[in-house]
Homo-oligomer: A and B are copies of this chain.
Amino acid sequence: MAWRLATGRWSVCVSCWRHRSKVCCHPPRISQQKTPLLIPPSARVRALLARMTCLLVPAVACAAPAPAGHKTTGHGRPQPKIRVTRGVRSKVSAARAGMDGGTSAPPPEPAIAPDAVINLELGDPTMYEAFWREVGERAAVAIPGWSGMSYFSNAQSLCWFLDPEFEREVRRVHRLVGNAAVDDGYHLVVGTGATQLFQAAMYALSPAGAQRPVGVVSPAPYYSSYPPQTDLLLSGFYRWAGDANAFDGDGHIELVCSPNNPDGAIREAVLSSESGKAIHDLVYYWPQYTPITGAAAHDIMLFTMSKVTGHAGARLGWALVKDRDVAKKMVYFVDRSTIGVSKDSQLRAAKILAVVSDAYGPDEEDDTRLRLFDFARRRMEERWRALRAAVAATGAFSLPEETAGHCNFSRQTVAAYPAFAWLRCEKDGVEDCAEFLRGHGIVARGGEQFGGDARCVRVNMLDRDGVFDVLIDRLFSIT
């Protein structure tokens, strides 16, 4: 539903529009307009917002009463929200009300005060909470008191702290999705998040007995945590050396993040494999974010629960490693730095991943509510449409062009919907986009932290619905 305000700006009722409702009961908000003018969108605006499903319906004044259970969702209102959408969302309230069959009811989504600052600086994946609430007790685990006393999970294994059931489910979900050549002799190393494994990989790849630390590089814009994580202890083995495109030293370790954090770009190594090594950070290479174009088969590939299923609190990642000696060195690093990885998280993750894979099995054909990748892709698509609409409407920002490709998993051509928005401020006089957004109650990570332009910011696209709605509302309010 589109509204044109007296200021001449366009506003969209994000809630109705995300849910493709043809009836809107929400008055337009934003700015000081008490009585907005309601004018159908111009041809130019319609063209700009062509991807927005509900804008294809002519804008109408809203007089219809709200359907039962359809409450307003915009404009800094308190939570929880209950929506009319069928399927995944319609069951959320049941879970909240304690009817999810055995596990205690989750707390309601935190309320957001109208003047609250929203923090989208970290990549908190709380968007997934709604899905797991819907799944209910199928994804719950009970852990008895006597479980997990030993340091060992599999004393005979190369990675002796890797839970065999977790390993089985990791390999299974990769086979299901087809995003990694997990069966081609790859060793699996578990870590306390991909973060620990990234350090383990640098440790394992550093040349033995080198006179000075090997340079660690990544093409800008690169994940802002790479430099401080690399140089956390000023290691004698490796040292951050900046933008890969500007590197001309001997020997290197290149961090290849694809899809890239922060801008979602699909990447390959830019430096030669003859002069150095690569670590492929593929934590976003899942079908909700990007078309799965093939099974990646790099030397070291990093993944994490945080970005597949949203369980960031588990602090659980894994590496697929081609070379046995490299895998052994990574295991040694994890051993020495934390003596292994939480068994509780592994046990739980094994269950979570099993639920994910089971939902795509022959027995679950009709129950699409339980299909994680479908849920997440749908949600990402809605969010990116909302964001692009807001960006187009305000004219104050720009985003990277949308890309698309054939996805082997969904068997269709789909667009990429990155987990972060790499937002560039196009307003004259604004040199620091992060500071500019802070003035509008939005905390995002400034572009210079990614080795990029301060006119850019990285915005988390995976927060809860309430937070995302506020983001869109506030972006619309920026002229």
Interface residues of A (CB under 8 A from B): 95, 100, 102-104, 106, 119, 122, 124-126, 128-129, 132-133, 135-153, 155, 192-193, 195-196, 199, 203, 225, 228-229, 232-237, 306, 310-316, 333, 336-345, 347-348, 351-352, 355
Contact = CB atoms under 8 A, between A and B. Distances in A.
Given A144-B137, A345-B345, A313 B150 contact: yes
Contact of A342 (B203, B228, B333, B345): B345
15 contacts: A102-B142, A103-B144, A133-B146, A139-B146, A153-B313, A193-B338, A195-B336, A195-B338, A233-B233, A234-B235, A312-B339, A313-B342, A315-B338, A342-B342, A344-B347
B145 A355 contact: yes
Contacts of A126: 149-150
Nearest to A144: B103
Contact of A145 (B313, B340, B352): B352
Given A122-B151, A128-B149, A337 B196 contact: yes
Contact of A339 (B135, B195, B348): B195
Most buried by B among A104, A313, A352, A355: A313
A339 B315 contact: yes
Contacts of A355: 145
A10 to B, nearest CB: 34
Contacts of A351: 145
Contacts of A235: 233-236
- Those 3 A-B pairs whose CB atoms lie nearest each other, nearest first: A139-B145, A234-B236, A148-B313
Nearest to A342: B342
Contacts of A106: 144, 146-147
Most buried by B among A136, A312, A342: A342
